[in-house]
Amino acid sequence: MTTATLIDADMEALLACGARIVQVARRDKRPLGQAWQTLSTDDPEQIAAWLEHGANVGILLGAGNLIDAEFDDAAGQRWLASRGLLDIETPTWSSGRGEHRLFRLAGDLPPVGWRKFGGAEIRIGGKPAQSVLPPSVHPSGRPYTWLVSPQQCEPAVVTLGELGIG
Residue 5 is predicted with a pLDDT of: 52
> Which residue intervals of 53-113 are DSSP H helices?
74-82
Residue 136 buriedness (CB in 10 A; 0-12 / 13-18 / 19+): buried
Q: In b/e form, how buried is each residue of 78-99, taking b as 16+ CB within 10 angstroms? A: ebbeebebbebebbbbbbeebb
Report the predicted TM-score, pTM, of the whole model to 2 decimal places: 0.93
For residues 26 and 143, the answer to whether their CB atoms sit within 8 Å is no
Q: In the predicted model, what is the mean pLDDT of residues 137-156?
A: 96
Q: Read off the pLDDT band of 1 (50, 70, 90).
A: very low
Checking if the pLDDT of 87 tops 80, the result is yes
Which pLDDT score, from 0 to 100, does residue 9 have? 95
Q: Report the alpha-carbon distance of residue 72 to residue 113 in Å, rounded.
A: 18
Phi, psi angles (nearest 5°) of residue 59: -100, 130
Average pLDDT over residues 140-164: 95
The mean pLDDT of 107-126, rounded to a whole number, is 90
Domain definitions of the chain by residue range: 3-156
3-state SS class at 119: coil
pLDDT digits (tens, 9 = 90+) for 29-85: 999 999 999 999 999 999 999 999 999 999 999 999 999 999 999 999 999 999 999
- Residue 3: its pLDDT value, please? 44
Q: What is the DSSP string of 88-104?
A: S---EEE-SSSEEEEEE
Chain mean position to CA 65 = 12
